[in-house]
Structure 1
Amino acid sequence: MNLDIFLSLFSLMLLSLAVFLLSKKLNFPYTVLLVIAGSLLVPLSQIEFFHFITSFELTPELLFFVFLPILIFESAYNMNVRSVTENIYSIGLLAVVGLLISTLFIGIVGHYLFGLAGFAVPILALLLFGAIISSTDPVAVLALFKEYGAPQRLTLIFEGESLFNDATGFAAFLVVLDLMIHGFTGTDSIMSALGSFLIMLVGGFLFGLFMGFLFSKLIEAVKGYEHLEITLTLLVAHFTFIFSEVISEHLVIAGQQIRLSSIIATLIASMVIGNFGRYKMSPPVEEYMEKFWSYFAFVTNSLVFILMGLLFVDLAIDMNVALLPILLAIAVVVIGRAVSVYPLLWLLNKTGKEEPIPRNWMHLLAWGSLRGSLAVIMVLLIPDDLTIPGWNFTISVKQFVAAVTIGSIYFTLLIKATTIGKVMHMLGIDALTPEEEVGYHKSKAQIYDESMLKLDELLETRYLNEQQHQTLQQRYQRLHDGACLHCKDAIGASSDLIENMLRIYALGVEKGALKEVYQRGEINEKVYKKILNMLSIQTDRVGRGHKQVKSVNEHFPIDTLERFVLLVSRLAFWQDHSFKAEELYLYYRTLNKIIAKVIESLDEIGNSGLSDVFDDRIALVKLQALYQGLNVNTRKKMENLIRNNTELLNQLNQKAAEKSLNAVQLETLVKLHKNEIITSKLFIMLNHEHTEQKNAD
């Protein structure tokens, strides 16, 4: 029997790969095809040879304690706290207030709608369904958003809502389920439910912060041991999730059981790791993490959605009985989503708390709300013998909720998911911005320019003869000239557009140079984060059409999470986190390095393929003047520090030289081993000696 389970698991993984390739060939949503494939496996399993295929089952425990933490961590790890806080009103309104409005709408309006259709469904049953179906699934729709080119801010709002409303929805589900089990007693029940709901969210938030910072410190403690760092990131999601559940089971205060939201705790812990803990990791691990978790999420998503198809068939009931309730449920869910989106975002736009959300974005947020794995988990958690006063149907409450939930999920996957691309195009959301259109043609021009340089190299090394070289050169020259012409047409007479593109290019050069400096160990985490935060703020400003800097002496504030960390550290440990002379010197020296890199890159533009695109000398000179001014200002501050701290400077230069030498030695050693010039045994010995020498120094 165990052999059948493993054979089923690996067969499903193999099948998911085939489905993925088919989805690319058909240009059809991957997750939708997985659910369809899973549904088709049930009749296939009736054949004796394929009977093993259904041995691996999607249990509530597997979904809840294994798969869900992985999906939460993968999404939350890459969410930027500063971007979330900038859009916190829209995300918060949709994730909390919007979900509660949708739940109440489905429960109350659905109760009357079902009654008019001849189905006297108690309001509590529909409130339970509302809590289950109101939370949107980020997995099912985000891939589609990115594939069809949704704006970055819209994608962030939807992803933030999807992650946070998972926590809100599950908390609401537990509250309603508790009311159904213990009965509704009027005002006391309402107040108790509201209190439990708030405790779940606030408690989960605080516990998530604690676990996130705890594991960040653990990662810092094992820095340099790459396998341990990766393992700790794997553990943080599951430990946070499971500990939250353990606390919820055993924590009782004043006779009241205290429940924490395991979903929001895991979400917050994952965001802390992604925005704070990632800087504690070794540079190679930090670069590898995104690929590592992307792979885990891909495998998990594939298994979840293909097993959902299997599960849906197993949970199916007589469609002659369930068809009309399913259609009514779909209608009330669609209207409930609209009611929870349009009024809230309209009011938010009126307050001016955030940049206005366009109406076509509201349309997509209302339509693109797919449902998925969490809804299935909540259905599976409903007790089989659950009953409530006024339930007079032959099917159980769980069967009814399962039927309308599955029907709604199928509707979102088969109808909404397959039409998102067309809806986005119809609303004009997938249209390129002026900057994107210029970037598209500019990138093509650069690609063709590099191709022509490669052709010259191939001719010199005699891999191509003169005739082949000339033919290909002419071809790519035509493509290059065409891309430049299209780019100039896209730019038109807008010097501001050229200037913004140049600024984005320059900031990209700065970020790349900064990452290299940090990876070489020349600066610490504090200096790196301060400069990176400054560059991110400037990039956002340029993207919104604002000034890159207000003055050469402008002070850039640290992000929200960093301010919180510093506040807690000061209060708890009385630590002074102001920049010391050593760190300030490193800060200015690094700024000087990356600014010099930009100045060098801007000077080279005239001699590269970019000159055919950015031929506005005024914009180029203006940006060069800005960076020259920043460079002069930075050098002045650095020279003031040098005059006042001569001995310190000598020490820093000595340390910097030692770190550079260590980096060169390790790089040489790795290259020798990679090229098989030395054996693995020698590599281990020399690497051990290098590490010991480094620690001794």
Structure 2
Amino acid sequence: MDYYFIASILVVLAAAFGYINVRFLKLPNTIGLMLITIVFTLVVFAISYFDSTLLDAEKFIITQIDFKSVLLDVMLSFLLFAGALHTNFEQLKVQRWPVLVFATAGVLVSTFLVGTAMFYVLQLFGLEIAYIYCLLFGALISPTDPIAVLGILKKAGVPKKLETKIVGESLFNDGVGVVIFLTIFQIANLHGATFEPTDIIVLFGQEVLGGIALGLLLGWVTYRLMKSIDDYDIEVIITLAAVMGGTLIAQKFHLSAPLAMVTAGLFVGNDTVRASTMSEITETYVDKFWELIDILLNTILFVLIGMEMLVLTYEGHYIVAGIIAIPIVLACRFTSLVLPINFFKKRLDFVPNTNIIMTWGGLRGGISIALALGLTQEMHRDLFLVITYVVVVFSILVQGLTVEKLVKRLAKGNGD
């Protein structure tokens, strides 16, 4: 496989589609790029009835890319570090307890609610799917995607207190969601072997606590190195090394790389560390470098999501099941947030209608598709991949396009 050729094609497509969006559609990049790519793929499908050259080329590109590996093992670390680096740490510290509960208990509750609901819904289609496989779908669709959320909320005018909750939750809950998914995945793969509750606790603790601990260590080492010199070129490279080296360490010792990168990014990006380690020019270069990485990888990611249409199995009842899954996923997210929000709103100043805005603004994206691609055929991969794709497309195109209007209607008159 010619990696340079494929990377070049993806960057050229991303640049072309990005230009079309900025020049003509003027939509948030996340939405515009995915919409243009889907339309492009549909046009390629139509042209293939007369000449299949373009379709064959696009199929070649998408089949040569291991989307799950590319996103979860490579791109996600860069994107999460960049997102965390620019997150308001002081606001996040104030909102740390609700964010923690949303990102852990909220994802767990949603996983079981979605899994249980889909177990019964799929039976209506005559699909006898084992409950454990429905839980896998619940685990992969419950985390909100920080990559999709960050890009859209910046333009939606969400009050800062609420934006911190949604962004903070998204940064952490994808790491937690991946761990929950992998845990259920291992249980589903046992084929009659035993799996003790203590094994689940150890696995979960190792991934989550180990990932956070590694992130703190990476952040501290990065801080000490940057504090001891004043050279913006090398300091930018140090942050890059922290992400790349830290991801390798996390993968080697089976720790959560996403949680490690979020923790390291928050550590390096908080105002106290910035003030004591970075000169003004260093801060500018570090921020601009990671903004560029963020934009470039985001652009490529959503082009890839649009092109993933080529790997779907177009069964009519699969698509109908996906459409039915949309309100189920939204209802389960709303339900999973009810108790935490009612508990914390007495202690913290919550924006009115927080639950509705967090439900509609909690977008699904590439992480859900990547996890669905990791399912085996025995786990009904084709079915759950189609359902996941339908939910993700609705989430980004419909929820993403309307969240700004919803925020203005529900949170109008509330300050930041």
Do Structure 1 and Structure 2 share a fold, with TM-score over 0.5? Answer: yes
Matched residue SS, 1:317 = coil
Within 5 Å, which residues of 2 pair with 1:149-298?
149-183=157-191, 189-221=196-228, 223-248=229-254, 260-275=255-270, 277-278=273-274, 279-298=276-295
Match of 1:330 in 2: 326
Match of 2:29 in 1: 30
Offset, 1:73:
0.8
CA 1:238 to 1:422, structure 2 compared with 1: closer, same or farther past 3 Å?
same
CA distance in 2, matches of 1:172, 1:99: 9
Match of 1:618 in 2: none
CA 1:130 to 1:19, structure 2 compared with 1: closer, same or farther past 3 Å?
farther
**TM-score normalized by the length of structure 2:** 0.89
Q: In the alignment, is the contact (CA less than 8 A) between 1:8 and 1:52 conserved in 2? A: no
Offset, 1:171:
0.4
Match of 1:410 in 2: 393
Offset, 1:52:
4.8
Offset, 1:27:
4.6
User: Which amino acid is the alignment partner of residue 198 of structure 1?
Assistant: G
CA distance in 2, matches of 1:377, 1:306: 14
CA distance in 1, matches of 2:131, 2:56: 41
Match of 1:374 in 2: 367
Match of 1:11 in 2: 12
Superposed CA deviations along residues 297-348 of structure 1, whole A, max 9, x for unmatched, are 111101000111001x122112313123212322321111111112221122
Match of 2:74 in 1: 66
Q: In the alignment, is the contact (CA less than 8 A) between 2:18 and 2:29 conserved in 1? A: no
CA 1:432 to 1:92, structure 2 compared with 1: closer, same or farther past 3 Å?
closer
Which residue among 327, 330, 340 is the counterpart of 1:344? 340
Match of 1:300 in 2: 297
Match of 2:383 in 1: 400
Offset, 1:153:
0.9
Matched residue SS, 1:150 = coil
CA distance in 2, matches of 1:184, 1:333: 30
CA 1:399 to 1:419, structure 2 compared with 1: closer, same or farther past 3 Å?
same
Superposed CA deviations along residues 27-59 of structure 1, whole A, max 9, x for unmatched, are 533322212222234353855378655655442
User: Which amino acid is the alignment partner of residue 238 of structure 1?
Assistant: M
> After the TM superposition, which of the residue ranges 235-244 and 124-133 deviates more from structure 2?
235-244
> After the TM superposition, which of the residue ranges 135-144 and 295-304 deviates more from structure 2?
135-144
CA distance in 2, matches of 1:337, 1:72: 22
User: Which amino acid is the alignment partner of residue 11 of structure 1?
Assistant: V
CA distance in 2, matches of 1:381, 1:49: 27
Q: In the alignment, is the contact (CA less than 8 A) between 2:215 and 2:260 conserved in 1? A: yes
Q: In the alignment, is the contact (CA less than 8 A) between 2:14 and 2:303 conserved in 1? A: no
Offset, 1:154:
0.7
CA 1:380 to 1:113, structure 2 compared with 1: closer, same or farther past 3 Å?
closer
CA 1:289 to 1:240, structure 2 compared with 1: closer, same or farther past 3 Å?
same
CA distance in 1, matches of 2:189, 2:355: 37
Q: In the alignment, is the contact (CA less than 8 A) between 1:7 and 1:53 conserved in 2? A: no
Offset, 1:122:
1.3
Q: In the alignment, is the contact (CA less than 8 A) between 1:11 and 1:53 conserved in 2? A: no
CA distance in 2, matches of 1:185, 1:51: 43
Match of 1:570 in 2: none
CA distance in 1, matches of 2:266, 2:91: 12
CA distance in 2, matches of 1:5, 1:329: 34
Which structure would you say has the larger RCO, counting Cα contacts within 8 Å and 6 or more residues apart?
2
Offset, 1:413:
1.6
Offset, 1:21:
1.1
Superposed CA deviations along residues 478-524 of structure 1, whole A, max 9, x for unmatched, are xxxxxxxxxxxxxxxxxxxxxxxxxxxxxxxxxxxxxxxxxxxxxxx
Match of 1:592 in 2: none
Superposed CA deviations along residues 182-229 of structure 1, whole A, max 9, x for unmatched, are 14668x5444223321221111111111111112222233x2232211
CA 1:140 to 1:194, structure 2 compared with 1: closer, same or farther past 3 Å?
same
Within 5 Å, which residues of 2 pair with 1:675-690?
none
Q: In the alignment, is the contact (CA less than 8 A) between 1:241 and 1:262 conserved in 2? A: yes
User: Which amino acid is the alignment partner of residue 397 of structure 1?
Assistant: H
User: Which amino acid is the alignment partner of residue 283 of structure 1?
Assistant: E
CA distance in 2, matches of 1:226, 1:358: 40
Matched residue SS, 1:182 = coil
User: Which amino acid is the alignment partner of residue 212 of structure 2?
Assistant: F
CA distance in 1, matches of 2:21, 2:412: 24
Q: In the alignment, is the contact (CA less than 8 A) between 1:19 and 1:30 conserved in 2? A: no
Report sequence identity in percent.
24
Aligned pairs, how many? 404
Q: Of the two, which has the highest radius of gyration?
A: 1
Offset, 1:146:
2.5
CA 1:164 to 1:6, structure 2 compared with 1: closer, same or farther past 3 Å?
closer
CA distance in 2, matches of 1:321, 1:17: 34
CA distance in 1, matches of 2:344, 2:222: 36
- Structure 2 unmatched runs, 5+: none
CA distance in 2, matches of 1:181, 1:56: 30
User: Which amino acid is the alignment partner of residue 87 of structure 1?
Assistant: Q
Superposed CA deviations along residues 419-459 of structure 1, whole A, max 9, x for unmatched, are 112212221x24464xxxxxxxxxxxxxxxxxxxxxxxxxx
Offset, 1:159:
0.5
